[in-house]
Structure 1
Amino acid sequence: MPIRDLLFVLTMIVMRVVSEPTANASFLLLAGYALLGRSQAIKALALSWLFSMLNPTLVAATTFASTGRFLIIGAAALSVLSRSGLLGKNRQISLMTFATLILGLLLVVHSLVVSPFADVSILKAISWTLVTTTLLAAWGALNVNERAVLTNQMFNGLILVLICSLPLLALPQGYSRNETGFQGVLGHPQAFGPTMALLGVWAAAGMLGDRRPPWWRVLLTGACLLLIVLSEARTAGVGMVLGFAMAVVLVPILSRQRIRVMFHGLRSPRLYIVLTGAVIGGLLSGVALTDRIGSYIDKRGGGGSVLDAYQTSRGALLNTMVDNIEANPWKGIGFGIASNPSEMIIERESVFGLPSGAPIEKGVLPYQVAEEVGLLGVVFVLLWLGMAIKRASRVSVTSLAMALTVLMLNMGESTFFSPGGMGLMPLILFTWAVSVSPTNRQG
């Protein structure tokens, strides 16, 4: 990262931490930073995610986060749009970006017709469409060198989140949310665990493509797995393992490339040394390891199997969603609407009364889509996701593993269509995975 950019980013982080006035101002500065270029737009969105998700016991409070996020999204979109050529004669738009715009338009129309809170649904549909198309257009327009530099910066940024969290393992601030699950520098174990899952699958998949995986990458993968267990975020652990395993199985099929060409790391003794060490360590740990993993699976639920634990934590949410799907199978209840609409808490800004926030909790992405936009909407979303997964498979096993892990993380707590909170970072990495064009795929 250029020294100027690095100093600017560090200054904004310090401002976010020290006091409420400077924390509010940091969002304004991020919006200005997003206007400087495509890479800056993506980094501004990533920092917006970080600023919103930071552990409240470590940083100053802010009253501008909700409005500030929208300003940053708007600035990033304007920055990318002004450089895309869409406003001039040489209009170029990728198929993936065009498909996202069509899907977003369908969500807006559906919101007008079906939603009991049309303004809330429209705002959420426009917000997701704007963020996703902006990220797809920005990633896709970067040349090989720009993409490589920004990819390394994103990867190193997540590593810094891990490193800065380690000292909190011995401090109560690292467990302040529920006193048991480790949350590190983030505001919730259910945010920290998935973040480590994304970093872990990035590191693990990178080992398969390297003839001689570096030891730091091996250790990083192990550290991510350990921190996921400590966070008690079961969906994160399952999502990382399933995303990685599915990518290994599917990428040779979808990309039609030979396994030995794609998985150079399978020839490396280091990979097998790590696997052997993990098995021996597990055997030596014996009861202690079993108890810890059992506690991780059970998570104070008193159940036995993983399925029992899943039913205990998500059963009530799923039951309500299933009831809504059965009652409204074709039209749904409205995009971004809670399963019990009467219980929604809608935050509105004071000037025009527009909704600035309406948080909801949904357990499983497929059920969420079916509940909110009906079975016809599920078809359009599946077509869009199928196109995205196909594109990711043509790039590398790392891209496919990242895209699949993001989706698997949404099997326990659905955040894919919520770019205003925890869902923003997974969406940044999902669009990174599916946005490589034929002209820069070689990078």
Structure 2
Amino acid sequence: IHPHDPQWFKIVVRFIQNLVTSRPNAAARSAYTNAAASLLQAYPARASKLLFTENVKDNDDKPFAYLLINLLLIDIRSSIPTLLQQLNQPDYAQCSTRLTSAFDVISIFIGHLVRCLEDDSMDTFTMSPDSLLKLRKGISETMSVTVEYLRDRWDATFAGAMGLHPDARTSKAETWTGSHQTLAWDSLVNSADEDPLILSAVRALALWLREDDNETLRQEATGLMDMLMELYQGSVSFDKLLDFRSPTLVGLEALLTTHQGRDLFLRHNGWSILSKDLISLLATSPSARDISSSCSASPHAHDPSRGIEIVRTLLTVAEHESSSGTPEEWMDIITAVAAWDASGGVSTRQSSSSAVTAEFHVSVLQLCCTLLAGASPGMRNRYRQSMSAINGIVEQLHPRGVPGKDAHLVEAMEDVKSTMNHVLRGL
């Protein structure tokens, strides 16, 4: 539990500012980077205000936020190319911790920057256009280097060489130190999917891919599609300490805007991986009688916000890559939704949780409508019973499934009902 208003807060901020502006050495870089990340994670709103918006002088082209972020970007670009060589050296842990903190600060700054640019008031806008352009270039260059590192680190952990066929991963060498992949070389402590640095790097990269319309960087990042899908699939396990699902979904929002990205997504079983997670979320979706008790459950059990993002991702693929009709394997979602017990509905008493859950339910039904609308007449005929069951769910949720009568959800539910009626009439 963090104190609400600690007396030491501004002292630590001044400490960070003094280190940043005083030609820092290696020890000072670690100190201000780790301290800034800790403050921003513990007190995001207050720390962002003090580190990113305050202490700006008139006609100051380079406010403190610019200096801080620029130094972090330089540190990442200069350190990451040689990081792979240091995996099993004693100083790797310290270097990795510093870079993890640097990526975390960059992620929070990107979010802060987006909010400032969306804010009508210019009071929160502290940088000149020239400084912003320089930072944009610096972040893009840093993320390009990050893509290269992630590719190399992943290959070092699981493949041993770039482009090595996955079948080559199956054999392991049994030695006195344990069982190891025959060709892989990596950290003896944490593999890539267990390294906090990889999670922080993927999170920062995903945010920047989504927020910056950089086609070149997106093309580079599509080469990580196999890694992203394996990280997502591995995060489903309960024994995994790191959860890559949310940053992966954020990154996919940008990567799936291109045909190449969607093609690689399908080639690396992206539809299957995400649809299985979606089905598991739907199976644990709380009804009106257990919404309140579900709040204490494991976050792996039910996360309607993640479900909404999954549906958004699958809809993007379905709308662009099904010109010849909905593939048979995509219809597993129809079967799963048809078996969903929606009798509990959504309570209108727990407004905050039930509203998100209702949006999740409506978005799943929208995905079903898209798949059914794109299915061939013969396929619809084979799924006649599932379609009738889904239509029954729509009839149950239509009059009472939108807490607070949210206009957007009401309109979406009307579209779902209209589409289902149209599809059923075609049988």
State the TM bucket, normalised to the shorter chain: 0.3 to 0.5
Q: Whose relative contact order is higher, 1 or 2, with alpha carbons under 8 Å and at least 6 apart?
A: 1
Which has the larger Rg?
Answer: 2
TM-score by length of 2: 0.34
